[in-house]
Chains A and B, each alone.
Chain A
Amino acid sequence: MNKGYINKIIPFSSVDGPGNRTAIFMQGCNFNCIYCHNPETIGQCNNCGMCVNDCPQNALMLLESKIKWNEKNCCGCDNCIKICEYCSSPKAVEMTVEEVINSISKTIAFISGVTISGGECTLQKEFLTNLFIKLREMNISIFIDTNGSVPLWVDESFVNSFDKAMVDLKSFDEEEHLMLTGCSNRIVLENIRYLNKIDKLYEIRTVIVPDLLNNKRNVNEISKLIVELNPQIRLKLIKYRPLGVRNNLLKANIPSNEVMEELKSLSEKIGCKQVYIV
């Protein structure tokens, strides 16, 4: 694949791995999580043009049956994303490896590395493998943030091209995972074990959603898994926040600080050494 389909690039991020990182959000995901915080990264834009008329700044146009986004005119109101019926974004762009490298080279003095997120980044692993070969030359660390659904053990060239992975484990329980994402978690768990075996597992993340998930069971089981693999692996407990989510699918409360702290100490009691709440 010559081009990557990219939702957006955030030059400075404090929450996508160690140090300051440029975070690249790939467009397209194979999960359909009820609580998805950025549902506009799930689908592919089919150039239907529905968003064009709803843009208050005339930043969108349908030219030769393709959506064109004029970044200069865009006011960032996200109307286009809100009305999209295909969980996509007219602002997503196709970029070549060189274009992505050019974008990163502006911030290179300020970052520890790059994190590829999504969407689900491993769905574009051929493009990423090519991108990572070039990123290597810049002497920065390369992380991926994945839902773990694509078997990684079958593609060594991809796995060898990045440094570490952060894996979202949406639920330890297969049924709950299926209910939440529409997919099983078997490959996710296998990927976690595989990444740990080759020393590329940096962090496991899970979102705490009251009323929807059995959060205590999740934290309990995930913590046991971490202790079994390597207690130093980071566990990030993410507080569910109703921002950017599809409110029609989910009416859940934000977990209280007390709940988050309880889950953190549960995990620490089990033996996890690095537990973070965000």
Chain B
Amino acid sequence: MMKEVLQRIQDQKLTYHQKLITLARLAENSIKPLNISDEVQSYRDEGIICDLFEGNAPYRPRYIVPDYEKFMKYGSEFLNLKPPIDIWEATNHLLILYKNVPSITSFPVYIGNIDTLLEPFIKNEEEAYRAIKLFLTHIDRTLWDSFCHGNIGPLDTKAGRLILQVEKELQNSVPNITIKYSDKTPDSFALQAIETALKTAKPSFANDDMFLNDLGSNYGIASCYNGLNIGGGSFTLVRLVLSELAKKTDSSDDFINNLLPDAVEKMCNYMDERIAFLVEKSGFFESSFLVKEGLINLDSFTAMFGVVGLAECVNHLLKAQKLEERFGHNQYADQLGYKIIEKLHEEVHKHNNYYCKISNGKFLLHAQVGIDTDKNTSPGCRIPIGEEPQIFDHLLQSAKFHKFFPSGIGDIFKFDMTAVNNPQYILDIIKGAFKEGMRYFSLYSSDCDVIRITGYLVKRSDMEKLAEGKQVLNDAVVLGLGSVENQRIYDRRLRSYE
């Protein structure tokens, strides 16, 4: 460990704050307070259960989704802030609170429904434009983590329009943005969102009706695309790597009836252990001012059961080599994929965790987007990059899985520049996709500097700098670069005329 500490201290690619966070991780991982069974440990060693480097001693929930509306209404005693009275105070107050909201990344993964938070303070649009431009620039330069996520919509607001206008101009990678989209969203607002996304890969579109149905009216989209309840969040996210688990057998029946239930049970136990330490031993919920001031509360938290590599799992079990035999291209392969996720859903729902009260004791399924070092393991239930079918078949295939994943699943589409002249083309596709049960839709164009890696945004130009050995501000650039190298992100199918 001492060698690693010195390495981090001397690493010239890391900024000062990146060093600080890395050193804190090393310190946390120098202790082992969790009671991990041999079976769980062996799944972890095999790369089948993976806690995404959450650390050995969870001392804050992985994802925190504060009730920013409450903060704007009452201010904060701990931060010594009275409720804001104008757009300058509103944006400044939020920026102050953001710097005091922890998460797995040490940055806030949710920064609120920023349009409705700011709308009451928009008196003069020119002034609001300046304030919002400074606000979003400040976020990009000081919360330099691509998992920082703001929401807008579903209703049209002046603030929402200004946020889109500013983002189109700034073309920053932070914050990630989602527009909650439903029949209540006017086409003109949705089209402005699409025009912005074609320039800077955000916002993504969330199927508001579907999230409302699954999570209730009080939800936000955090981090990559994680649907979670406001005032709560997720204690933890651990993932099950289906592609690795499948390597233990050649039989689909054995996988579904024996391997999967056992792995799910062990992973649930591991998640229980992480949650128990966080809630009962870390002291977070006793000491955080966010809890004391009611911006979050224990009973609104849940936990996310992640899954990756369905495509590779199915292809292995079916020994599918040719494209027409593989997941995404073959009816039987797709049916097997569906059966696996159905079974996964059933098994995960057998488990109860006392602290996940908001989700009735259940863990929420999450189609995890992968990590930079993943090879031959596609995000969640996605069709592998390089094997994407034409967009119509792609949408219908993937939409079938979305109902199982209230805490996040989505697909990404790269459009050619002809779409810029016709944003309605993309809106039609999104409307159709949501009618077919798709939960979350991301897009960018072949021209964007900011691109969506797997769920988060990174600038191509930043990745080039890092590849040349230069420092970059955003700590997710290194993840993006890894994914570009290992998961062929640049080879995502270009959608034009199909």
Contacts and interface: CB of A to CB of B under 8 A. Distances in A.
B484 interface: no
A15 B390 CA distance: 17
5 contacts: A12-B392, A15-B422, A19-B422, A20-B428, A110-B431
Nearest to B435: A109
B496 to A, nearest CB: 7
A14 interface: yes
Contacts, number: 62
Interface of B: 390-392, 395, 415, 418-419, 421-422, 424-429, 431-433, 435-436, 496-498
Given A19-B424, A111-B428, A14 B436 contact: no
Contacts of B422: 14-15, 18-19
Which 9 A-B pairs have CB atoms at the shortest separation, nearest pair first?
A110-B432, A20-B428, A14-B425, A19-B424, A109-B432, A20-B425, A19-B428, A109-B435, A11-B392
Contacts of A278: 418, 421
Interface string A94-108: 000000000000110
B395 to A, nearest CB: 7
Given A14-B496, A111-B432, A19 B427 contact: yes
Interface in A37-93: none
Interface string A159-175: 00000000000000000
Nearest to A277: B421
Nearest to A20: B428
A111 B419 CA distance: 14
Most chain A C-beta atoms within 10 Å of own C-beta, residue among B391, B392, B427, B496: B392
B210 to A, nearest CB: 15
Contacts of B496: 14
B432 A15 contact: no
A19 B425 contact: yes
A276 interface: yes
A15 B424 CA distance: 11
Contacts of B431: 109-110
Contact of B497 (A14, A19, A106): A14
A67 to B, nearest CB: 24
Judged by DSSP, the binding face of B is helix
A10 interface: yes
B74 to A, nearest CB: 45
A109 B436 contact: yes
Contacts of B390: 11-12
Contacts of A130: none
Contacts of B391: 12
A118 to B, nearest CB: 16
A14 B419 contact: yes
A124 interface: no
A112 interface: yes
Nearest to B416: A14
A13 interface: yes
A261 to B, nearest CB: 14
Contacts of B436: 109
B497 A10 contact: yes
A239 B421 CA distance: 14
A240 to B, nearest CB: 16
A155 B449 CA distance: 51
A152 to B, nearest CB: 26
A130 to B, nearest CB: 26
A19 B418 CA distance: 12
Contacts of A21: 425
B395 A15 contact: no
A10 B424 contact: no
Nearest to B396: A106
A110 B392 contact: yes
Contacts of A12: 390-392, 425, 429, 497-498
A12 B496 CA distance: 9
A108 to B, nearest CB: 8
Contact of A14 (B395, B418, B432, B433): B418
B427 A15 contact: no
B428 A15 contact: no
Contacts of B498: 10-12
A20 B429 contact: yes
Given A12-B429, A12-B498, A19-B427, A110 B395 contact: yes
Contacts of A18: 422, 424
A72 to B, nearest CB: 9
A111 B498 CA distance: 13
A21 B418 CA distance: 13
Contact of B433 (A15, A19, A110): A110
A13 B392 CA distance: 11
A112 B191 CA distance: 14
Most chain B C-beta atoms within 10 Å of own C-beta, residue among A10, A14, A109, A111: A14
A111 B425 CA distance: 8
Contacts of A111: 428, 432
Contacts of B418: 14-15, 278
